[in-house]
Chains A and B, each alone.
Chain A
Amino acid sequence: MVLSTHARSAVLTGLAVLATSVLGGCSLTGSSEDEGASAAERVVLVTHDSFSLPDELVADFEKRTGLDLEVRPSGDAGTLTNKLVLTKDDPIGDVAFGVDNTFASRALGEGVFASYAPELPPGAADHELPGDADDLLTPVDTGAVCLNVDDAWYAERDLAPPRTLEDLTEPAYRDQLVLPGAATSSPGMAFLLTTIARYGEGWADYWRELMANGARLTSGWSEAYQAEFTQGGGEGERPLVLSYDSSPAFTVSGGASTTSALLDTCFEQVEYAGVLAGADNPDGAEQVIDFLLSDEVQAALPESMYVFPVSAQVELPAAWARHAPRPERTWQVDPAEIDENRAAWLREWNDLVAR
């Protein structure tokens, strides 16, 4: 009896192994895709989930350089930065793009990047990271996180839309604002920094008033814009949302945008690229950075990633030039100060808005 149990188990194991090998052939992920090192030299670009460039440009780059560009999205700017920090002894790629000015100093402090100083296009130097003496990070694009309003909503109600951060705490704008939270989204963090830049130590009081005036928090940009904003995809009910200065270019209907950005409420975001220290292919990594700064890529950035180029010598798309005016002045917080206080600020913010 015991023997039979034993034998049966052995047969079962055998069957299972057989089944594995048979079924393994049924799927392509299991079989054909392990080409290993292909003929072309590989360069791995680690980036955030929003990275996207036209296929032609990438194909062009690969043809010109003989490199095989592999793009690996790794979450949002925060997740990306922390992945880079956690894997710095054994980097997950050759070059990284998408670390922004709210996370940059953490990456610098941890020694994630190696030096590389490419030739910058005109205008790009304005966006260089303060405190980056070793040329570890190169600015690639910029954009601003600003509040957006549904102009039609306010016109219908004969109400002047808000303009400043102060306006948001006015009773006239009660229950109208929705924004992603600072703890879980990078625009949300940018808005927290906006209030810190504006109010200094008094930011917590401002947030108390904001929450008391019926502001709603969501976990990410998608929930805020797509589900809750009146001009998002989902027929929401709030006419004020935290988004980007470029967003009005996407709500154009009949030649005019139905939304606009409040240009006094903007926080400047700059996204950087850098060669990863200990990269397998540092030479390829440098070529990728040059590629990101090329006129073709810089000109493609608005349509592909909804951000503005750092280069002043490329033309913006027509809709952008018309509907997405840039703020003249943005709120800023020193990257080193952000790095030092991020945890404390977020904890205080969390306690303030929670429960």
Chain B
Amino acid sequence: MTALRRLLTLAALAVVPVVALGLFFVVPVSGMLARGFVVDGVFDPGAVLEVLSRPRVHRVLWFTAWSAGAATALALVLGLPAAYVLHRLALPLRGVLRAVLLVPFVLPTVVVGVAFTQLLGEDGPLGFLGLAGSPVAIVLGLAFFNVSVVIRVVGGAWESLDPRPGEAAAALGASPRQVLTTVTLPALRPAIVSAASVVFLFCASGFGVVLTLGGLRWASVETEIYLLTTNLLDLQAAAALSILQLVIVTVLLAVSARLRAVPGGTARVVARPRPVRRSDWPWLGATAVLLVYVGAPIATLVAGSLRVEGEWSLGNYRALGTTGSEQALLVPVTDALANSARVAVDATWMALLLGGLVALVVTRRSRGRAERRLRGALDAFFMLPLGVSAVTVGFGLLVTLGRGPVDLRDSPLLVPIAQALVALPLVVRTLAPVLGGIDDRQRQAAAALGAGPLRTLTTVDLPIVWKPLLAAAGFAFAVSLGEFGATSFLARDDRPTVPVVIFRLIGHPGAMNYGMALAASVVLAAVTALVMLAVERLRVGSVGAF
């Protein structure tokens, strides 16, 4: 009876996100896969499997694996010191720095591609390295976009890590290095694994970066699916690669879930940031390297946006109220900004709602193996959008949503829904480790002391979840502001978002349009940074309130 009730609860919590993901992810993806398997009305799996034996597919797979792996490693190497410095040390401007480091995550890839090209190109400041168009440039680009994920996810965990075990170890004579390797890192392992798996999946499905930074000499699974679908209409091959992608993602998620398992309920105490000590210098140095690495392309963009015909000028920014030269745009950039904000609000609440429910479902203590398995499977299920080609989803939405009573292809909500699905895994990954870290005994204690369910929620869960929830909201909002792949596929002409107009501007000749694209990118980056700053402020304010 109780078991049944528990399962019912589980189902009730899971139903909204499962239906949403089913409708907007599973149905479209299977719709596309079906088109690959069924040729002229005949089920033909042989042809799909044959694709997997092509040597080119093997090359593509290998390249995807090692470039994503290298980029994940680089993001961790650069992100971990910054997570420590920006979340544990009392550094001036650390809130600003945290916000700034998130900016790359939302910049349109085309624009970053242009900035990187100017940096790495033959005549650029780093041209002597000869990296333009190389796989190194791709890895640098992938890590550039994703290092903020590491800082966010690991930094959040680091902040709420109880400092006392480390202090105790130090008091017992452990060197800082020993404290790090024997106390701190093991405690952070779930967060690190979580961040690494998200980053790896982002990198492995990083479509725009590979296309714009690597030129065409290197193909990843994602760009290959794009080529096969949009250019060759070879749906069998695309289906084969999509299935392969699904399998790999599932395996990866299973492995990372195992590694991530939270060791028992740990009480979380938010440590006060402490003053910088001499022993922190290596960490600060590594963070400085990261700032240069992330800052250089952004500085290139800002400088470019401030130049008109070789002179310093704000002309590009003034032009944002116009539709560009030669009517590059249908609506001014300022209108697109308003559209972006509206879409982002919708995408944010959807992602938070779905992500919050999912995080709750997957982190409740399970009784019995079946239930644990079920929760594990659900957890992995909601991570799938990270690893599946946006091209497949986009085309799938087109071919499957046109039927039925409502033609969802026409709905203005389609864009925010698609963006929410992109942000969903991120929200889940931000919330789940925190929710999972709450000791269930605290809730039991509260209940035993007479607190009702609501009071238990507000006194036990909420104080701990509050900050990550805000961080997740900001993150989802920022992701939505910058999302381009799905948006460009689904957005309507009269209501473009900022990345869509930037793409249009950069795709039209004329120096003014190019300048406007840079200016719009800087505005997008600035808005994102401000959003994240606001979240940082709220977080600081909420520390004392609970």
Contact = CB atoms under 8 A, between A and B. Distances in A.
A1 B413 contact: no
A49 B357 CA distance: 37
A92 B409 contact: yes
A86 B227 contact: no
Interface string B222-233: 010011011111
Contacts of B403: 90
Nearest to B118: A234
Given A4-B447, A221-B507, A226-B114, A9 B13 contact: yes
Contacts, number: 232
A222 to B, nearest CB: 5
A87 B399 contact: yes
B342 A29 contact: yes
B13 A12 contact: yes
Nearest to A9: B9
A241 to B, nearest CB: 11
A72 B398 CA distance: 13
A24 B352 CA distance: 12
30 contacts: A4-B456, A5-B6, A6-B5, A6-B9, A8-B454, A13-B12, A26-B349, A27-B346, A33-B412, A49-B488, A49-B504, A54-B327, A74-B489, A82-B231, A86-B35, A184-B216, A184-B226, A217-B216, A219-B212, A222-B114, A226-B514, A232-B514, A234-B114, A237-B122, A247-B509, A250-B510, A251-B509, A306-B509, A351-B56, A355-B218
Given A11-B453, A20-B353, A306-B326, A183 B227 contact: yes
B120 to A, nearest CB: 11
B416 interface: yes
A135 interface: no
B360 interface: yes
B121 A87 contact: no
Contact of A10 (B9, B122, B223, B342): B9
Tell me which of A8, A74, A304, A346 has the highest count of chain B C-beta atoms within 10 A of its own C-beta. Answer: A8
A323 interface: no
A50 B509 CA distance: 12
B444 interface: yes
A125 B518 CA distance: 42
A73 interface: yes
B350 to A, nearest CB: 8
A227 B506 CA distance: 10
Interface string A1-32: 11011111111110010011001101111100
A342 B228 CA distance: 12
Given A50-B508, A72-B493, 20 more contacts: A2-B2, A8-B453, A30-B416, A34-B412, A71-B494, A82-B231, A87-B402, A90-B402, A183-B231, A184-B226, A184-B231, A220-B212, A225-B509, A226-B514, A233-B304, A233-B515, A234-B117, A304-B327, A353-B216, A354-B218
Given A83-B395, A87-B398, A354-B217, A342 B232 contact: yes
B230 A75 contact: yes
Tell me which of A19, A73, A342 has the highest count of chain B C-beta atoms within 10 A of its own C-beta. Answer: A73
A29 B416 contact: yes
A8 B229 contact: no
Interface in A165-212: 175, 181, 183-184, 189
Using C-beta atoms within 8 Å of the partner chain, give the interface range for chain A: 35 or more
Contacts of A294: none
Interface in A62-78: 70-75, 78
A218 interface: yes
A179 to B, nearest CB: 10
A167 B425 CA distance: 52
Contacts of A175: 122
B18 to A, nearest CB: 13
B356 A16 contact: yes
Nearest to B211: A219
Contact of A86 (B133, B357, B399): B399
Interface residues of B, number: 88
Given A217-B215, A222-B507, A306-B508, A9 B233 contact: no
Contacts of B398: 83, 86-87, 92
Contacts of A28: 342
A184 B507 contact: no
Interface of A: 1-2, 4-13, 16, 19-20, 23-24, 26-30, 33-34, 49-52, 54-55, 70-75, 78-79, 82-83, 85-87, 90, 92, 106, 175, 181, 183-184, 189, 216-223, 225-228, 232-237, 243, 247, 250-251, 303-304, 306, 342-343, 346-347, 350-351, 353-355
Chain B facing A: main interface SS: helix
Nearest to A302: B326
B228 to A, nearest CB: 9
A20 B357 CA distance: 12
B113 interface: yes
A303 B399 CA distance: 34
A139 B137 CA distance: 42
A99 B125 CA distance: 41
CB-based closest 3 A-B pairs: A233-B514, A8-B453, A181-B216
Nearest to B233: A82
Interface string B1-37: 0100110010011001000000000000000000100
B430 to A, nearest CB: 17
B113 A223 contact: yes
Contacts of A90: 402-403
Contacts of B456: 4, 8
B492 interface: yes
A303 B327 contact: yes
B40 interface: no
Tell me which of A7, A220, A234 has the highest count of chain B C-beta atoms within 10 A of its own C-beta. Answer: A234
Interface in B407-463: 409, 411-413, 415-416, 443-444, 447, 453-454, 456-457
Contact of B12 (A9, A250, A355): A9
Contacts of B504: 49-50
A301 to B, nearest CB: 11
B508 A223 contact: no
A75 B491 CA distance: 11
Contact of A12 (B328, B330, B457): B457
A11 B447 CA distance: 15
A250 B132 CA distance: 27
Nearest to B109: A219
B29 to A, nearest CB: 14
Interface string B496-508: 0000000110111
Contacts of B5: 2, 6
B219 interface: yes
A33 B493 CA distance: 15
Tell me which of A74, A79, A181 has the highest count of chain B C-beta atoms within 10 A of its own C-beta. Answer: A79
Contacts of A71: 493-494
Contact of B110 (A50, A183, A223): A223
B217 A353 contact: yes
Interface in B494-546: 494, 503-504, 506-511, 513-515, 517-518
Interface string B100-122: 00000000001001100110011
Contact of B413 (A26, A30, A226): A30
Given A29-B343, A223-B110, A354-B219, A184 B412 contact: no
